C-alpha cells in the first residue's frame, strides 16, 4: 500500500486559541486528516474497513511543537506509515510552513473488531 502522502491544510479561525495560535490539541485533528487522506489516496476508505469489520483506534499519539501556527496559515502535512504488521499501524507526521518544520508527531493505531478485540490487519493494509 501507499505509505506516504502529503496534504495541504489552511488553518481555520476556530482552530486558534486565546493566544491567537492553533491550539495544540488541534494538531491531532490534522494528523487524523493526514491518515484518512493517505488511506483515500491509496484507493481505500473507512467505509470499506467497516464492511470488513475493522475499526482503527488510536492507542498512542504524541506531538512536538516548534513554531506557533496562526489563522490563515497554509500548512503542508506529510504522513508516513513506518510500520504496519500484526494488528498495528505506526505513522509519523511532519507539519511544514514555507519549507520549515513547525511540528512533528507519531501515532500507533490498533486494529480491533466491533467488540474492541484486537484483530490482524487486512493484507492490503500491511507493509511488506
Q: Which residues bind a second copy (CB under 8 A)?
A: 12-14, 16-21, 23-26, 28-29, 32-33, 36, 45-47, 55, 57-65, 68, 70-72, 116
Map grid coordinates 507493509 to a residue: 127
Q: Which helix or strand (DSSP H or E) is residue 65 part of?
A: strand 55-65
Residue 47 or 100: the one with the smaller Cβ distance to a second copy is: 47
The whole-angstrom separation of Cα 13 and Cα 17 is: 9
Residue 98 or 123: the one with the smaller Cβ distance to a second copy is: 98
Q: What is the CA radius of gyration of the chain?
A: 15
Q: How far is the CB of 77 from a second copy (least distance, A)?
A: 13
Q: How far is the CB of 3 from a second copy (least distance, A)?
A: 20
Q: How far is the CB of 123 from a second copy (least distance, A)?
A: 23
- Phi and psi angles of residue 96, each rounded to the nearest 5 degrees, phi first: -125, 150
The whole-angstrom separation of Cα 66 and Cα 79 is: 18
Catalytic residue at 73? no
Q: Cite the active site residues.
A: 17
Amino acid at each position: 500500500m501507499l505509505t506516504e502522502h502529503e496534504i495541504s491544510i489552511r488553518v481555520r479561525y476556530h482552530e486558534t486559541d486565546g493566544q491567537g495560535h492553533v491550539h495544540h490539541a488541534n494538531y491531532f485533528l490534522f494528523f487524523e486528516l493526514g491518515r484518512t487522506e493517505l488511506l483515500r489516496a491509496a484507493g481505500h476508505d473507512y467505509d470499506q474497513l467497516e464492511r470488513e469489520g475493522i475499526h482503527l483506534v488510536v492507542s498512542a499519539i504524541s506531538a512536538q511543537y516548534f513554531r506557533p501556527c496562526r489563522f490563515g496559515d497554509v500548512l503542508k502535512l506529510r504522513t508516513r506509515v513506518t510500520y504496519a504488521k500484526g494488528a498495528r499501524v505506526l505513522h509519523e507526521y511532519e507539519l511544514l510552513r514555507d519549507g520549515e518544520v513547525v511540528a512533528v508527531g507519531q501515532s500507533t493505531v490498533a486494529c480491533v473488531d466491533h467488540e474492541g478485540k484486537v484483530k490482524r490487519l487486512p493484507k492490503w493494509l500491511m507493509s511488506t
